[in-house]
Amino acid sequence: DGGITQSPKYLFRKEGQNVTLSCEQNLNHDAMYWYRQDPGQGLRLIYYSQIVNDFQKGDIAEGYSVSREKKESFPLTVTSAQKNPTAFYLCASSSRDRGPGELFFGEGSRLTVL
Amino acid sequence: QKEVEQDPGPLSVPEGAIVSLNCTYSNSAFQYFMWYRQYSRKGPELLMYTYSSGNKEDGRFTAQVDKSSKYISLFIRDSQPSDSATYLCAINQAGTALIFGKGTTLSVSS
């Protein structure tokens, strides 16, 4: 079955450590996205990539980094510079063949900083 | 003014009730309007989308867009306990990323 796989589902990190969240899709979608979700805040865009080897900052990119070396993979690194990293992180993808607002989401990764 | 405003609720209704969920937006350039449903601890899934003013119906769900008032709605008829989730409106214009509302948490009791 095609879909988006995020790992790990739960992650604990000590302050000052970098952590990388994995996102893999086998939908053959060109665009991929990372969102952060906090209680009562909705989804906020961190980074997005429309093609391999290219990505753009979203609304809250500070303290995060990404790479897009392969079409199917879009890992997110939460660096020690991110002041409030505890959150639910969602990866999504979309295709030019579908509607402009049709995103397919993974199950999410919950990061807790101790 | 935020680009999308959505009342977070929570909203509690009995089974069988008609539910109305709403969002307002500020930029008249927005062209595409979506509703996503998110169950607890899961990723959102697209429920409905519409690109024009008017109504769009899919089973028990109706999406309504009023561009003149910059107001979008999602109606759920004959609500079921399985409809208990957070509903997020999302909007954008061509070539731009989606902007999400904060989500409304709905609880349907049997």
Closest CA to A36 of A78, A3, A79, A98: A78
| Element (DSSP H or E) covering residue B88 | strand B85-92
Contact A20, A77 (CB under 8 A): yes
Q: What is the pLDDT of residues A92-109, one digit of tens each?
A: 999 877 777 889 999 999
Closest CA to A3 of A97, A103, A80, A85: A103
Average pLDDT over residues A51-62: 95
Geometric angle at alpha carbon B31, from B28 and B36, rounded to 5°: 115
Cα separation, A46 vs A29, whole angstroms: 19
CB contact under 8 A, A102 and B49: yes
Radius of gyration for chain A, computed over Cα atoms and rounded to the nearest angstrom: 13
The answer on pLDDT for A79 being more than 70 is yes
Give me the pLDDT at residue A96, please: 79
Q: What is the pLDDT of residues B61-95, one digit of tens each?
A: 999 999 999 999 999 999 999 999 999 999 988 77
**A43, A99, A104 member nearest B100 (Cβ):** A43
CA distances from A99 to A14, A86, A94, B95, B100 (A): 40, 32, 9, 11, 16
Average pLDDT over residues B9-37: 94
Give me the pLDDT at residue A1, please: 66
- Cβ contacts of B103 on chain A, cutoff 8 Å: 42
Give me the pLDDT at residue A76, please: 98
Contact B23, B75 (CB under 8 A): no
**B41, B94, B101 member nearest A100 (Cβ):** B94
DSSP β-bridge partners for residue A89:
A36, A109
Give me the pLDDT at residue B8, please: 83
Give me the pLDDT at residue A5, please: 96
